[in-house]
């Protein structure tokens, strides 16, 4: 059985890009019988930039509800909040003392953020060490992440090697990064990569009226209604074809080529497709968000299992270190 682990920082409501690019592929992976998946909400990491309690709680709930709405099996796998396993903070301290300062100071992500952000706190600096603790606490073997996280995984591997070397024992498992080369980049309403930082995202869980409003903001060219249109340069068509089946795609292509079919029609078709395609997850998500007791129960199942593993691991680490 392979142990797969990944975390999602809770700093927003997952959008269509996150769902198609990260949530659904991870859930597919978790369904394979040979895998056991640990998926957690990195709420401690969110404190680096998010200082408002209410916003954090809303985002944590929203991320958890998204995974559950897409049928993540919490009996076979683990879903938990990082902060509910406080052992991870203790392990982070130990790992800090095995992490050379220049390794963190030279990290691309730190340098890039330190140049851009007004709040450059120590949490931002030691972020990769907490991430290493998240991973090696559970002996994770594979860590599926986006390309921007590759360097963080290299830091984790360096810390593991330093630690194991010092004590001449395999105390921590050396994790491997898992990058999906075919991972699509989902375009946003303006055609750039969909991202919360560009404010071009589609939240598929919105009430119908608001969802339609967002779909209507997708940027198109000014080709008049009567004229044929090129589907391959159209953002509406790109998004539609990520969700539609082969027949629906052929039909929309023909509509574009024929003329007399406006972008308004295409947007309506996309909106309706989102509603039908995501009918079940939308209902389940809203049910969970309006009944957070249910959400809490689901999370606590994973947290109890994760905590037990973490406590055993820490016991061993403490004895190795002489604490």
* Chain contacts with ligand ADP (rule: CB under 6 A): 8, 17-18, 21-22, 146, 185-186, 193-197
Name the residue whose CB lies closest to ligand TRP: 7
CB of 22 to ligand TRP, least distance (A): 8
Q: Return the residues of window 269-308 that contact ligand TRP according to CB under 6 A.
A: none
Helices (H), 10-138: 16-18, 24-31, 43-46, 53-69, 87-96, 101-105, 108-116, 122-136
Q: Which does 7 bind (CB under 5 to 8 A by kind): ligand ADP, ligand TRP, none?
A: ligand TRP
Say which DSSP state 187 is in: B
Give CA–CA dist 35/145, Å, rounded. Answer: 16
Residue 9 interacts with ligand TRP (CB under 6 A): yes or no: yes
Give CA–CA dist 104/106, Å, rounded. Answer: 5
Residue 65 interacts with ligand TRP (CB under 6 A): yes or no: no
Of the candidates 181, 122, 102, the one whose C-alpha atom is nearest the C-alpha of residue 146 is: 181
Q: Which does 281 bind (CB under 5 to 8 A by kind): ligand TRP, ligand ADP, none?
A: none
Residue 7 interacts with ligand TRP (CB under 6 A): yes or no: yes
Sole window of 30-38, 99-107, 142-150, 311-319 interacting with ligand TRP (rule: CB under 6 A): 142-150
Task: Count interface residues toward ligand TRP (CB under 6 A).
Answer: 12
**Coil, strand or helix at 35:** strand
Joined together, the tokens standing for residue 323 give 């604490």
Residue 30 interacts with ligand TRP (CB under 6 A): yes or no: no
Residue 42 interacts with ligand TRP (CB under 6 A): yes or no: yes
Give CA–CA dist 318/93, Å, rounded. Answer: 12
CB atoms within 10 A of CB 147: 11
Residue 218 interacts with ligand TRP (CB under 6 A): yes or no: no
Q: Longest C-alpha distance within the chain, in Å?
A: 78
Of the candidates 70, 73, 74, the one whose C-alpha atom is nearest the C-alpha of residue 282 is: 70
Cβ closest to ligand TRP, residue 20 vs residue 135 = 135
Cβ closest to ligand ADP, residue 168 vs residue 197 = 197
CB of 48 to ligand TRP, least distance (A): 10
Give every CB contact of residue 304 below 8 A, 6+ residues apart in sequence.
none
Residue 83 interacts with ligand TRP (CB under 6 A): yes or no: no
Q: Which does 132 bind (CB under 5 to 8 A by kind): ligand TRP, ligand ADP, none?
A: none
Among 19, 131, 136, 310, binds ligand TRP (CB under 6 A): 131
Of the candidates 100, 86, 92, the one whose C-alpha atom is nearest the C-alpha of residue 136 is: 92
Cβ closest to ligand ADP, residue 238 vs residue 307 = 238
Give CA–CA dist 99/125, Å, rounded. Answer: 12
Sole window of 6-14, 30-38, 185-193, 239-247 interacting with ligand TRP (rule: CB under 6 A): 6-14
Q: Which does 122 bind (CB under 5 to 8 A by kind): ligand ADP, ligand TRP, none?
A: none
What's the count of helices (H) and strands (E) in the chain, helices before strands?
15, 5
Say which DSSP state 19 is in: I
Q: Which does 92 bind (CB under 5 to 8 A by kind): ligand ADP, ligand TRP, none?
A: none
Interacting residues with ligand TRP (CB under 6 A): 5-7, 9, 42, 45, 131, 134-135, 143, 145, 149
């Amino acid at each position: 059985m392979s142990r797969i682990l990944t975390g999602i920082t809770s700093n927003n409501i997952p959008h269509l890009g996150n769902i198609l690019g990260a949530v659904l592929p991870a859930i597919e992976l978790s369904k394979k019988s040979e895998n056991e998946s640990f998926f957690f909400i990195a709420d401690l990491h969110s404190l680096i930039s998010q200082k408002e309690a209410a916003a954090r709680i809303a985002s944590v709930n929203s991320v958890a509800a998204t995974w559950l709405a897409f049928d993540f099996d919490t009996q076979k796998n683990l879903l938990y909040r990082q902060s509910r396993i406080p052992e991870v903070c203790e392990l982070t301290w130990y790992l800090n003392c095995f992490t050379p300062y220049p390794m963190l100071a030279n990290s691309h992500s730190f340098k890039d953020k330190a140049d851009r952000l007004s709040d450059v706190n120590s949490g931002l600096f030691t972020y990769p060490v907490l991430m290493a603790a998240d991973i090696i606490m559970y002996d994770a073997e594979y860590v599926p992440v986006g390309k921007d996280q590759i360097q963080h995984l290299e830091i984790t591997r360096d810390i593991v090697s330093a630690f194991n070397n010092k004590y001449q024992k395999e105390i921590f498992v050396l994790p491997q990064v898992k990058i999906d080369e075919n991972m699509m980049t989902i375009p946003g309403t303006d055609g750039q990569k969909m991202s919360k930082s560009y404010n071009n995202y589609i939240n598929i869980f919105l009430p119908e009226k608001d969802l339609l409003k967002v779909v209507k903001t997708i940027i198109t060219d000014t080709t008049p209604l009567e004229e044929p249109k090129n589907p391959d340069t159209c953002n509406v068509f790109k998004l539609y074809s990520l969700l539609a089946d082969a027949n629906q795609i052929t039909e929309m292509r023909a509509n574009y080529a024929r003329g007399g079919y406006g972008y308004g029609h295409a947007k309506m078709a996309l909106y309706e497709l989102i509603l039908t395609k995501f009918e079940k997850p939308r209902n389940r998500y809203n049910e969970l968000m309006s009944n957070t007791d249910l959400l809490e129960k689901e999370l606590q199942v994973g947290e109890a299992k994760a905590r037990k593993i973490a406590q055993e691991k820490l016991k061993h680490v403490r004895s190795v270190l002489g604490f």
